[in-house]
Amino acid sequence: MKILEKFFDKIHPNFEKGQKYEKYFPIFEMMDTILLWNNKRNQRGTHIRDPLDIKRFMMIVIVALLPATLFGIYNIGFLHFEAVGVSATLWDMFLFGLIKFMPIVIVSYAVGGFWEVLFAVIRKHEINEGFLVTGILFPLILPASIPLWQVAVAVSFGVVLGKEVFGGTGMNILNPALTARAFVFFAYPGKISGDKVWTIIDSAKDKVVDGFSGATPLLVASGTPAGESAVKHVNDAGFSFLQMFYGFIPGSVGETSTLAILIGAVILIATGVGSWKIMTAVFVGGYGTALLFNAIAGPGSSGIFTLPAFCHLVMGGFAFGAVFMATDPVSAAQTETGKWIYGLIIGFLTILIRTVNPAYPEGMMLAILFMNVFSPLIDHYVIKANIKRRLSRAA
Amino acid sequence: MGEFKLKKGYDIPILGEAELVLKEFSNPDKVAILPYEFRGIKPRLKVQVGDMVKVGTPLCEDKEIQEIKFVSPVSGKVIEINRGERRLLMEIVVENDKKYTKENFKFKPSGNISKLTRENITNALLESGLWPYIIQRPFAKVANPQDVPRDIFISAFNTAPIAPEVDFLLEGKGKQFQKGIDILGALTEGTVHLSLQRKGNNSGNVLEEVTGVEKHYFSGPHPAGNVGVQIHHIAPVNQGDIVWTIKPEAVALIGELFETGAYPNERIVALCGSSLKERYYIKTIAGAKIKEIIPDENINDDEARYISGDVLTGIKLNENGYLGFNNCLLTVIPEGKKKRRLLGYFRTGIDMSSFSKTFLSSWISSKKKKWKLDTLAYGGQRAFIQTGVYEKVMPMDILPSILAKSILAEDIEEMEGLGIMELAEEDVALCTYVCPSKMDFGSILRQGFDLIEKEG
């Protein structure tokens, strides 16, 4: 520690205003404060400060993501070995997943980090820790088979157009990780939807077992013929509720295990880092809407209408979106009342898209992005209501 | 009368409350006044180095409203005039001749307050130098004597971290306090509101017996004791309203002034903070030199910060400087250590106290534990992120983070609509304390006030 301290103290002057490397101060600041805790004293404002800073705040999100990440890595291997019909140990599966997943994470961090640093240097502001979270969130909502160059292009799109053009962290309207995913979704639909992408199979050497489908439960459910029970259709395809809850199903890396995601949710809520209001509202909105569709399901309506509400919540990206994506503090609604409305509508829209839109089996990503755009409007009305209350008091 | 139970807020578990013991230090060699303590005052000197002054002689006045004066608390010689950055007047130091010769004020004490006119009272407060204790809302600055306030508000308890007990400060001063209240009552056409803390049993309290006020009872964590929060719940400041606020100790000073006709130069100051070995209340002369009151042996830490007022809103003093006038509290806390910790944000946080639940201590330490808090920022300033934490410490119907954003966007109409006029720095100090982006909401708020005053 002493050596590090001395080293940073020594090189610090070079990055001060008017010095040779002034331009690169943000990079220095990043390295310096990543390794050693800031020892600045309060000069303005309060004399004491709470020890929570943005770094720790973002670290908590990463910790909350760990269960889903670890399970996701294991699940990559599990799905692969199941598909090719080879028995493997737990460790083999995990290792297989790790080898497939780490390159995606590295590309995501490296390319996204590059843009983050570039903009910080040009704009002369500190590098924001928010990227630590975006960099891992994005790989978690991709299929493991995604080509790395697409990861690089998409994360560039997400960081630059989703965040930096609005003025950087704190100013962005859209969730950068979801923006990047939306980019892949529309630019390279073949690599992120359908039934071929979720399980890693090297067609040159792997031979899949008979009856392998690769489809996600949600895809199966959405393909239920009219008048049939969606839940039966899903069960027939080999997915029980518990299996979906634990997460042994095809899907994006981090989204499959509702259990792991719920552990993350507990961490976020207990530490106060994630908004319990938004999470609750999304689940309530989704559950309620699904019940509504169950009620109106008739013999003529498409089979997915009959999918029970509790199944919706453990399928696809619902839980992951509700816990980690909708709660992004920057792109969510900013007012406490607004958060309820924002979350409820996300839940509602997700189920609406899943049920009545034949083109997309999953609606979470679009619902959240859509509500990201509308959250300023929701806030606007909450703010206007506050202003009106104040004015009416005087009358 | 109202009963208000506030839920939002936070009592910072900081170590260093003063014991309820009163000691006396009667004759400081040097005293000083610090005009910059009082917001909205642009001081102009009335004396030069070498001038002889008496108790109550004006040392400086406000450039804009010249009737507002700051007077000497002792008799003796002006020996130093210290200026700070941009020639800002910092200290006017008077050497105490310990004779306490009194200036002859124009006004005479009067037994019968009901005969005094509003003008008599205003003039007496201005002449005696007690006027700056009257603070107006909006803008939280020294009141303008020309205004007639809608109401006057007094908060009779402190919830700020390690702030003094008002009951203790006013012990034995019930008569003066009552007189002060009567005088203030003549300054407004509205009501004098007195807010008390709802504890188990309030009887036996000097403040319970007071008449001529409307009493309100508050309970809850800090900032429930802030007068701004109380105004919001009792009778909020609306567009165009002006209300006045005054601290309870200053009310007693006004009573004393009208009793004796002389400048009340004694103050009781709580000496608090974990850097002090012994912590107690001291009765001394206003503006006494800190070194004279606190001997070096009483300091725990190598580097300590001296604050006039509480740790959230106080003013940083020079350790060779003088007590403030505006506060009956001197807080001494350790300066942050320069030694840096490896990967601070990865730590379990068992040895740190936080409002958030992201530190292990929030889960396992006793809620009653008091912590030795220092002046470290614990992180660098970052772009504002709406974590919802401001909202948890704002017990008013105000949207703090939205307001902060409207101020930064310089949208006057919106900031007024969102209630900027109801706030002062002290009301948003907890927001600054808990802010993970390490923003200073207080200075953002002041930026908004300056903009509004400039644009008219």
Model confidence pLDDT, tens digit, residues B153-173: 999 999 999 999 998 999 889
Q: Where are the domains of chain B?
A: 2-26+107-260, 379-455
Which of B378, B384, B428, B430 is the best substitution to test chain A (most A C-beta atoms within 10 A)?
B378
Side-chain half-sphere exposure of A18, counting CA atoms within 13 A: 0
| pLDDT for the residue numbered B64 | 92
B5 by DSSP, 3-state: which?
strand
Tens of pLDDT, residues B33-42: 998 888 888 9
pLDDT-derived band at B397 (thresholds 50, 70, 90) equals very high
Contact B307 A47 (CB under 8 A): yes
In chain B, what percentage of residues exceed pLDDT 90?
66
CA gap B291, B422 in Å, rounded: 38
Tens of pLDDT, residues A221-273: 888 888 788 888 888 888 899 989 999 999 999 999 999 999 999 999 999 99
**Which residues have CB under 8 Å from A110's CB, separation 6+?**
none
Q: Classify residue B368 by burial, with Cβ atoms within 10 Å: 0-12, 13-18, 19+.
A: exposed
- Nearest-neighbour CA in chain A from B242: distance (Å): 13
A-B C-beta contacts closer than 8 Å: 217
Strand partners, B83: B89
- Nearest-neighbour CA in chain B from A347: distance (Å): 21
How open is the CA angle B342-B345-B349, to the nearest 5 degrees?
95
Q: For residue A113, what are the CA distances in angstroms to A38, A120, A133, A134, B148?
A: 21, 10, 11, 10, 59
How open is the CA angle A249-A363-B385, to the nearest 5 degrees?
100
Establish if A42 touches chain B: CB-CB under 8 angstroms. Answer: yes
pLDDT for B113 beyond 80? no
| pLDDT for the residue numbered B203 | 52
Residue B310: closest CA among chain A residues belongs to which residue?
Answer: A47
Mean pLDDT value of segment B4-22: 93
Lowest mean pLDDT among A116-125, A383-392, B55-64: A116-125
Write down the residue that tokens 């009082």 correspond to.
Answer: B38
Contacts 24+ apart (CB under 8 A), A112-117: A112/A138, A112/A155, A112/A156, A112/A158, A112/A159, A115/A156, A115/A159, A115/A160, A115/A164, A116/A159, A117/A26, A117/A27, A117/A30
A226 by DSSP, 3-state: which?
coil
DSSP structure string for A169-216: TTT-SS-HHHHHHHHHHHH-GGGTSSSSSSS---TTT--PPTT-----
More confident residue, B379 or B185: B185
- Other CB atoms within a 10 A radius of the CB of residue A340 amount to 20
E strand or H helix at A394: helix A364-394
CA gap B422, B197 in Å, rounded: 21
How open is the CA angle A339-A340-A342, to the nearest 5 degrees?
60
- When the pLDDT of each residue in chain A is averaged and rounded to a whole number, the result is 88
pLDDT-derived band at B200 (thresholds 50, 70, 90) equals low
The CATH number of the structural domain formed by B2-26+107-260 is 3.40.50
Tens of pLDDT, residues A323-370: 999 999 999 999 999 999 999 999 999 999 998 887 788 889 999 999
Q: Where are the domains of chain A?
A: 2-35, 243-384
Interface pTM, i.e. ipTM: 0.91
DSSP structure string for A122-188: HHT-PPPTHHHHHHHHHHHTS-TT--HHHHHHHHHHHHHHHTGGGTSTTT-SS-HHHHHHHHHHHH-
More confident residue, A202 or B272: B272
Residue A380: closest CA among chain B residues belongs to which residue?
Answer: B402
Q: Classify residue B454 by burial, with Cβ atoms within 10 Å: 0-12, 13-18, 19+.
A: exposed
Mean pLDDT value of segment A14-34: 73
B317: phi then psi, degrees, rounded to nearest 5: -110, 160
Contact A53 B313 (CB under 8 A): no
Contact A390 B352 (CB under 8 A): no
Establish if B364 touches chain A: CB-CB under 8 angstroms. Answer: no
Which of B305, B307, B340, B446 is the best substitution to test chain A (most A C-beta atoms within 10 A)?
B340
Which of A44, A59, A382 is closest, CB to CB, to B345? A59
Which of A50, A275, A391 is closest, CB to CB, to B354? A50
| pLDDT for the residue numbered A323 | 96
Mean pLDDT value of segment A92-111: 94
Contact B343 A54 (CB under 8 A): no
Tens of pLDDT, residues B258-275: 998 899 999 999 999 999
pLDDT-derived band at A14 (thresholds 50, 70, 90) equals confident
DSSP A42: P
Contact B429 A46 (CB under 8 A): yes
Q: For residue B170, what are the CA distances in angstroms to B158, B208, B278, B410?
A: 13, 12, 22, 43
Ramachandran area for residue B22 (φ above 0: left; ψ -120 to 50: alpha; else beta)? beta
pLDDT-derived band at B202 (thresholds 50, 70, 90) equals low
Write down the residue that tokens 């102009």 correspond to.
Answer: B44
Establish if B340 touches chain A: CB-CB under 8 angstroms. Answer: yes
pLDDT-derived band at A299 (thresholds 50, 70, 90) equals confident
Tokens of A91: 């460790």
Establish if B379 touches chain A: CB-CB under 8 angstroms. Answer: yes
Establish if A336 touches chain B: CB-CB under 8 angstroms. Answer: yes
Tens of pLDDT, residues B358-370: 888 888 888 888 9
Tens of pLDDT, residues B203-234: 557 788 888 999 999 999 999 999 999 999 99
